[in-house]
Amino acid sequence: MVGLLGLLRRRLREAGLPEAEALDLLALALGKGRLEALLTREVPKEAEEKALALLEKRLRGYPLQYLLGEVEFFGLPLKVEEGVLIPRPETEGLVELALALPLPQKPRILDVGTGSGAIALALKAHLPEAEVHATEIDPRALALARENAQRLGLKVHFHPAPLTGGLKGLDLVVSNPPYLPAGYRGEAPPELAYENPLALYAGEEGLSVARPLAEEAWGALKPGGYLLLELAPENAPLLEEELRAGSWEEVAVLRDLAGRDRYLRARRPP
């Protein structure tokens, strides 16, 4: 087993991928947990062949999360599948910011473009009294989000609709919208090719979704309600200026753990 694990680590390292993924691939091939896989002394030939096949797929850029079929987001195990956006660690920061807002005891919250349901489900898990809604235009993603909600036993109201879906009277509109500029597609890492491009790219600037979302959010929010977005670092200050020029209050760009301008917060005046 040590020889196989060493081989997996070496091949990943040579490809510039994290060596730690070797244990994930081995565990998946064995059908065991990571610790149990690490303690396995002899790997059956069938499992060895499966591990090597998984390795080759990973080396071609296929995301590890899709191979595993699951990702942990804000402490929740979420099912993920090809064609649906993989929740990122940066988006956990968006949830943390949402939870820190001075929301009412029973807030009405909308997650726009929910994908796998990550933001909506994390907020519902930590704000059980909240009425949480989520919109999504991709039927495949919407079905996956509903499945995740059912698996976790969390009640979220899902809507097959764009942007705010016509909802009103909200205390918070939160979203990780597509925000990559179209020109980035040619230089994007191979992993992104397996995710839905509609969930990644947003026009020439990367703001073709965030701009109309901010406009709709004004009418969807109660007076005093908040808008919270995750954006590309180069675009967050640009949209900040536009919202400041409008009637929004408390407009601020907030940084992620790497110190990048990642989140935009704004409030509709009370």
- Residue indicated by tokens 């670092």: 233
Cα gap 252→186, rounded to integer Å:
31
Q: What is the pLDDT of residues 189-227, one digit of tens each?
A: 989 999 999 999 999 999 999 999 999 999 999 999 999
pLDDT at position 40 = 83
Cα gap 19→6, rounded to integer Å:
9
The DSSP secondary-structure symbol of 259 reads S
Helices (H), the chain: 2-14, 21-30, 34-38, 45-59, 64-68, 89-99, 118-126, 139-152, 210-220, 236-245
Structurally, at CATH architecture level, domain 83-267 sits in: 3-Layer(aba) Sandwich (3.40)
Q: What is the pLDDT of residues 219-260, one digit of tens each?
A: 999 999 999 999 999 999 999 999 999 999 999 999 999 999
Is residue 141 within 8 A of residue 161, CB to CB? The reply is: no
| Residue ranges of domains in the chain | 2-60, 83-267
The DSSP secondary-structure symbol of 235 reads T
Q: What is the pLDDT of residues 44-88, one digit of tens each?
A: 999 999 999 999 999 999 999 999 999 999 999 999 999 999 999
Query: Band of the pLDDT at 2, cuts 50, 70, 90?
Result: low
How big is the CA angle at 98 (ends 96 and 103), to the nearest 5 degrees?
135
Q: What is the pLDDT of residues 8-55, one digit of tens each?
A: 999 999 999 999 999 999 999 999 988 888 888 888 999 999 999 999
Higher local confidence (pLDDT), 129 or 186: 129
Q: What is the pLDDT of residues 102-125, one digit of tens each?
A: 999 999 999 999 999 999 999 999
